[in-house]
Structure 1
Amino acid sequence: MTAVLTADVCVAPLAQVSGSDLRVPLVQGGDCAYVNFDYAASAPALAQVTDRIGALLPTYSSVHRGAGYASRISTDCYEKARDSVARFVGADDDQVVVFTRNTTDSLNLLAGCVPGSTVVLDIEHHANLLPWKNSRVVRAADTLAETVRLLVAELCSKPTALLAVTGASNVTGEVLPIAVLADVAHRCGARILVDAAQLAPHRRIDLAECGVDYLAFSGHKLYAPFGAGVLVGRRDWLDAADPYLAGGGAVRNVTVESTQWAPAPARHEAGSPNVLGAAALAAACDALSELDFGAVAEHESALTARLLDGLGSVDGLEFLRLWSDAPDTVGIVTFTIDGFEPGEIAAYLSAEHGIGVRDGRFCAHPLLGRLGRPDGAVRVSVGLGSCSENVDRLVEAVHALVAGCRNWAYAKESGQWNPVPETRFSRDALV
């Protein structure tokens, strides 16, 4: 942990997010305030983000080629969004901002640009494990220090174009030393890509300072759930590669016989772009830039300590960790409980307590397998809108479950756990 706040400190939300006043029905009757512990999957929108979108909607129009007033406003907003993203991540002059749909889209885009082999760890989210052509997978060790040593050995063993690593594990929250890994990659003649989907919402990133060549993250994890992501990186590979999509906007000139492609970012942004998504992402970057990331880390640390302390005494509960020497984690706590399937726990928390968590294998099947949990686990993830009261409700609910105090029956149907009977809404309405 980065902070030393104790588990008994009362922690308030750090920012206003959408859904903070949401009330949800309970299967046993009545309702309660909803507790969102699924920030690692999709974070709610910041108030500044919804305000920015509301202000832009009246002038939303086509970009880059429209002469109308609204089109000029939208174009200006879209291009200025790149500046906001670049400032947020400390991009240098040689790095270009390409808007995409999400992190997965960004990584697949870059995979088509890499002129050689890629080295990845086996702990990666599928988005950073599957796209790379000619990849070599390194099995992470039991310590972070030994894992870095194994990466050094692999990078130096044969020519490598790219090292692709996560900034923070989406399963355990453990943060990797990206500045160290960037130095290692460069000394071995490779570049480095950081999947920052889980890191960007929680820690300050400065590409120029840490030496990272490429960075990818998603708006929907950065409090801007409007369908945009971003790839920030060095221009030369992006300009040399074939366009990610062939179409209007990606070209300078087209004849029947030939096509002259535009340089990045336009080269990889064919078609009408997601102007509102880019504006939302920029608004989130601007809002987060105004926060003290030290305070963000302390906020998460206090809530995580409270979670670990409260859940640590639950019989049969086991926390998932990768390394014994990881110096920092973002606000993620993942666990299993003997005698309960992860989906069963998640269904109970939602149905009887109005608490949303994530269960499953988190698009990281190899990692869950090596941690001895091939059937999945329960993930609790906190964010700017989380508070100590939320944590206490979760801890109390888990203790009640293990003590046999649940009020409803649950059954698995088509692989999913549900309360039986379901009284909160019609099951047909979910189809």
Structure 2
Amino acid sequence: MTTSTLSPSRPSRPALAPLLPVVGADTVVPLATGGRATYVNLDNAASAPALAVVAARVAQVLPHYASVHRGAGYLSRVSTALFEQARAQVAGFLGARGDDLVVFTRSTTDALDLLARAVPDGARVLVADVEHHANLLSWQRSARTTVVRGGSDAEETASLLEAELATGRYALLAVAGASNVTGEVLPLRRLARAAHAAGARIAVDGAQLLPHRRVSLAADDPADDLDWIALSGHKLYAPFGAGALVGRRDWLDAAEPYLAGGGATLDVSHDAVRWADGPDRHEAGSPNVVGAVALAQACATLAALPTAALESHEAALRDRLVEGLGALEGVEVVRPHPADAVGVVTFTVPGRPVSEVAAYLSAEHGIGVRDGRFCAHRFADSLGLVEGGLRASTGVGTSSDDVDRLVAAVGRFLTTGPELQYGVVDGHWGPLTDARPAPETFLGPVPEPR
């Protein structure tokens, strides 16, 4: 069925409110056609907004920010306590074992690059080509890495990885917990067991999974333990520039420091350096205390949700997206019904450039989605998305009204078409006539401090 308008509340499914308040949920943006609309953020898979409680925690901490670990002043002691408390909170959120390390980084990419440098000399690494570039390029540039082709679904991909692990050639399997293209979730415990049985370890890119699911490093059976998890605050509702690598310490303590600088040393002489062990070894320089505190608050807030509340909210929104988009003639949803998935849905409008559709959704409806190949080019190409796709991704701040607005806007694009003409403007798709102010002027001057 093709339709230009859909009821804001689909009769077959109940309305869903946001699960948690996020900053900017009521932000109003201008439309290129004139007028304004409340912004719909369906690009959570790229960068999620800050939880309201995270922003409040940052505002509380900022007046007390000072140097950490070596300052004698009282606020330095406060900041040091906050930083180390954040380390413990992140460890608790991920079910870390007693001897595991939490190393604060800038992002998942940074964390995985750190781990890549800690892999012992001569050890081989196994990955699949379905990975985000953060968990592909860190390993692919090494001759010690084997990249296997992914399967037709997560189950087949897992089977292919298990078969390759069984050769006994590998020291590490690196996998994404959830795909940022299809939302598919890999069976992590099963892969952990297969890796350990073959004498390998497993590292998980948790960037796309952790905002949607609780995951623990430690399992009921140690054979199913995960060895490392990498994560990003900017995907976990704490966009303040912090990420983390959490897991086993032996490789990290034996590796050369990720950065050389202050804080990573025990002693420096004319011809020698004694490096610290533990997280200090890889956290040279002044750490991002505020980012770490924000990340820890996000972890604590998500952990406090009722059991399965996050999963059921995401599943209901994903089902609504797939059902709504799938009912539109002229829309193709990529792998619409995987066995297990988070709130990430990719679709195309065959015959129309994906960047044109994304620009239309923004310019005429105030809806933000992602277009392109999502920093997962090899996987996207294998799915037939050589020219890219459109990705709608939900989060704790997403409501059913947000989903319905997207479906209605795509329906209108297919029936009545855009009101404006679109083309490439300054290297990007956009309306050829645009009533909106330039993005760099949107916020206006900085308000005077009170």
TM-score by length of 2: 0.92
Which residues of 2 match residues 277-356 of structure 1 at below 5 A? 277-321=291-335, 326-356=338-368
Q: CA deviation at 1:48?
A: 1.2
Name the amino acid aligned to 1:354.
G
Contact 1:353 1:397 in 2 (8 A): yes
Alignment partner of 1:199 is 2:206: no
Partner of 1:184: 194
Cα distance in structure 2, aligned partners of 1:358 and 1:184: 35
Q: Give per-residue Cα distances to partners, 1:151-206, cap 9 Å, x unaligned.
A: 12211224211000000000000100000000000000000000000000100111
The letter for the 1-side match of 2:335 is R
Report whether the alignment pairs 1:390 with 2:402. Answer: yes
Tell me how far apart the structure 1 counterparts of residues 55 and 12 of structure 2 sit (CA, whole Å): 33
Per the alignment, residue 367 of structure 1 pairs with: 379
For the 8 Å contact 2:21–2:51, the answer to whether it is kept is yes
Once residues 161 and 417 of structure 2 are traced to their aligned partners in structure 1, the CA distance between those partners, rounded to angstroms, is 48
Which residue type is aligned with residue 330 of structure 1? Answer: V
> Deviation per CA, 1:302-338, whole angstroms, max 9, x where unpaired?
111111111112222111129x7x4211001100011
| Per-residue deviation, 1:352 | 0.4
Q: Which residue of 2 aligns with 1:93?
A: 98
SS at structure 2 position matched to 1:131:
helix
Tell me how far apart the structure 1 counterparts of residues 410 and 286 of structure 2 sit (CA, whole Å). 47
Could you tell me which residue of structure 2 aligns to residue 145 of structure 1? 155
Asked if 1:377 corresponds to 2:404, the answer is: no
2:168 and 2:198 in contact (8 A); partners too: no
Q: Is the 8 A contact 2:207 2:232 kept in 1?
A: yes
| Contact 1:219–1:226 (CA under 8 A) maintained in structure 2 | yes
Measured against aligned partners, the alpha-carbon deviations of 1:343-396 in whole angstroms (never above 9, x if no partner) come to 111100000000011101100000111001111000000000111111111111
Give how far 1:414 is off.
Answer: 5.2
Matched, 1:9 2:9: no
Task: State, as a whole percentage, how many aligned pairs show the same letter.
Answer: 55
Cα gap change, 1:413 to 1:27, in 2 (>3 Å): closer
Superposition RMSD on alpha carbons, in Å?
A: 1.6
User: Aligned to 1:232, which of 242, 246, 249?
Assistant: 246
Q: Distance in 2 between matches of 1:10 and 1:402?
A: 25
- The Cα shift of 1:69 comes to 0.8
Contact 2:229 2:246 in 1 (8 A): yes
- Give me the whole-angstrom Cα distance separating, in 2, the residues matched to 1:369 and 1:7: 35
SS in 2 for 1:149: helix
Which whole-Å deviations, capped at 9, do the CAs of 1:192-221 have from their partners, x for residues lacking one? Answer: 000000000100111101510000010000
Paired residue for 1:81, among 77, 86, 90? 86
Change (3 A) 1:389 1:145: closer
Aligned: 1:175 with 2:185: yes
* SS of residue matched to 2:244: strand
Question: Deviations 1:244-268 (Å, cap 9, x if unpaired)?
Answer: 0001100111101111000020000
Q: Distance in 1 between matches of 2:156 and 2:354?
A: 31
Structure 2 distance, partners of 1:201, 1:292, is 15
Provide structure 2 residue ranges, at least 5 long, that are not aligned to the other structure: 1-9, 443-450
Q: Deviations over 1:275-298 (max 9, x none)?
A: 000000001011111012511111
Structure 2 residue 137 is matched with structure 1 residue 117: no
Q: Equivalent of 2:137, from 125, 130, 141? A: 130
Deviation at 1:428, TM superposition (A): 7.6
Aligned residue number for residue 3 of structure 2: none
Q: Report the number of matched residues.
A: 424
Mapped partners of 2:35, 2:146: distance in 1:
53
Counterpart CA distance in 1 for 2:299 and 2:34 is 40
Q: Which amino acid aligns with 1:295?
A: A
Unpaired runs of 5+ residues, structure 1, are none
What amino acid sits opposite 1:356 in the alignment? G
Instruction: Please tell me whether residue 50 in structure 1 is matched to residue 55 in structure 2.
Output: yes
Q: Which moved more, 1:387-396 or 1:151-160?
A: 151-160
CA distance in 1, matches of 2:111, 2:440: 36
**Alpha carbons 2:168, 2:199 under 8 Å: kept:** no
Q: In terms of mean alpha carbon deviation, does 214-223 or 312-321 score higher? A: 312-321
Counterpart in 2 of 1:41? 46
- Residue 415 of structure 1 and its aligned partner are, at CA, apart by 4.4
Q: Secondary structure at the match of 1:112?
A: helix
Aligned to 2:6: none
User: In the alignment, residue 137 of structure 2 is paired with which amino acid?
Assistant: L
Q: Tell me which amino acid in the other structure corresponds to 1:228.
A: A
Deviation at 1:143, TM superposition (A): 3.8
